[in-house]
Structure 1
Amino acid sequence: MREVVHHHGSTTLEGVLLISEEIRAPAPTVLVCHGAEGRTDTPVEMAERLLPWGYQAFAMDLYGKGVGGSTPAEFEALMRPFLANRAMPADRLSAIVSTVAGWPEVDGDRIAAMGFCFGGLCVLDMARTGAAVRGVASFHGVLTPPSGWSPRPIETKVAAYHGWDDPWAPPEDVVGLAAEMTESGADWQLQAFGDTMHAFMAPQANSPENGIQYDERSAERSWSGLKRFLTECLADDSPVLQQQ
């Protein structure tokens, strides 16, 4: 595990690269996009869970080195400029993919991305804008496209794992995403979980009055779905991956 400093324009970013000595480099790699709070230990821990599956992993930093929040008001303030100009995070994510693809540990032709909450929205936008990744997986993400967006061909595989009682992605948004992905010709899949709220993957989430609640069963189901999805996206004749 090592912290990696890189840049997007004038912004200094610091992600965490996790590699396994048991995986022969260059290897397929999964980018992990944090939620509204910024790059905390949680996405790093999620990235670490990918190593036994035969992947390298990179916990991304979208906000900037040392930038993060700890309260809902701070989360909203951090996200606001990204949500107001969706082209900016899409450009940053594309730059991150290009940077990671050039590292010797990484097979630049076999990269996927996954994200949680705000990060779930970001990885969906990676697919929408043609980032050089084979697949994206969104966990309890915001699902709506940018304002004024017109569906266009999507070659990236798309998976979304969704809590049906998530107030940030009501049923009409779920149907809207399905319609958008279908119109774009994407290879897409959606797994929705009943009696499940926003942030169901986050063990610390415990605010059901606000529609936010960890759900162990839905978390396990979605993680199992992710394993199958990444195999579809990234597997080749590698013995490590074929065993998964």
Structure 2
Amino acid sequence: MLRYLSLLSLLFLFSCAHGKKEVSYRIGEKEFKGYIAHAKNVEGKRPGIIVVHEWWGQNEFARAQADKLAEMGYTAMAIDMYGEGKTTTHPSEAGEFAKSVYTNMDEATKRFDKALEVLKSQPDVDADKIGAVGFCFGGSVVLSMARLGKDLDAVVSLHGGLQLPVKAKRGVFNGKVLVLTGDADPMVPAKDVKQFKRDMRRAKIDTEVVGYEGALHAYSNPNADKVAKEYKLPLGYDAKATADSWERMTKLFKEVF
């Protein structure tokens, strides 16, 4: 009985370690829904982290990543790149959602900028210390925002596509970039990785690229194996690569903040 009560106490303390809330914001006539998680045990202002979802939309996985960052002492906002909190579980629809944003960078930029504004306005966020992390589709988004020169101290992409709609240019972005990718990911082939490295090097953008041997697309999502089996997609969860990715991301954020 005592052991059971102790376990309940630990779970209660863990659940209270960070707070969470949903926020709504508008761009024109369209409503967007963000999810903000923040550390309760940190006094004063702290860095803010933008979290950009996979092509499925701002689902539970995206929110869970914001929760993890809050547990690390940050205020994290899982943003909504589709509008109205739209999500899907079918890859065909997800592809349509992602394409509608990715092929219209002006609109994508407006949506990212508005979410960034909302995050910076939070009373516990130090607006001068902001990072961004994206997964798959979201990884491509945050890398594109870096190339556009957004006010970000660090950008992290996990299994994001590297064929970006924005060219890398010198003197545009002063933050650091960390790209974490699976070497066995057919959606991010070796030629794309090589070209991305070359472009970032020529633009003199501080970039580190880490490839995980045998890791497939979406390797950080525990649901990847299930989706791969259901839709016959080249996805796969890799716990080791995920752990190392978070370790590297944690180190980077500590460096820049």
Using the size of structure 2 for normalisation, the TM-score is 0.86
- Give the aligned residue type for 2:25: H
Does residue 182 in structure 1 map to residue 205 in structure 2?
no
CA distance in 2, matches of 1:12, 1:125: 23
- Give the aligned residue type for 1:137: V
- Give the aligned residue type for 2:85: G
Runs of 5+ consecutive residues of structure 2 not aligned to the other structure: 1-19
* Aligned ranges 1:10-29 → 2 under 5 Å: 10-29=29-48
Report the equivalent of 1:227.
250
Classify the secondary structure of the residue corresponding to 1:64: coil
1:110-162 Cα shifts (integer Å, max 9, x gaps): 01000100000000011011111111100000011217x35343212100000
CA distance in 1, matches of 2:89, 2:73: 33
* Identical-pair percentage: 28
Report the equivalent of 2:12.
none
* Aligned ranges 1:149-164 → 2 under 5 Å: 149=167, 151-153=169-171, 154-164=173-183
Report the equivalent of 1:144.
163
- Shifted more, 41-50 versus 80-89: the winner is 80-89
- Give the aligned residue type for 1:140: H
Query: Displaced runs of 4+ in structure 1, greater than 4 A?
Result: none
CA distance in 1, matches of 2:208, 2:106: 25
Report the equivalent of 2:61.
42
Equivalent pair of 2:168/2:203 in contact (CA under 8 Å): no
Q: 1:211 aligns with which of 220, 230, 234?
A: 234
* Aligned ranges 1:1-244 → 2 under 5 Å: 1-146=20-165, 149=167, 151-153=169-171, 154-206=173-225, 207=228, 210-234=233-257
Runs of 5+ consecutive residues of structure 1 not aligned to the other structure: 235-244
Using the size of structure 1 for normalisation, the TM-score is 0.91
Alignment length (residue pairs): 233
CA distance in 2, matches of 1:11, 1:175: 38
Equivalent pair of 2:82/2:101 in contact (CA under 8 Å): no
CA distance in 2, matches of 1:197, 1:44: 22
Equivalent pair of 2:38/2:73 in contact (CA under 8 Å): no
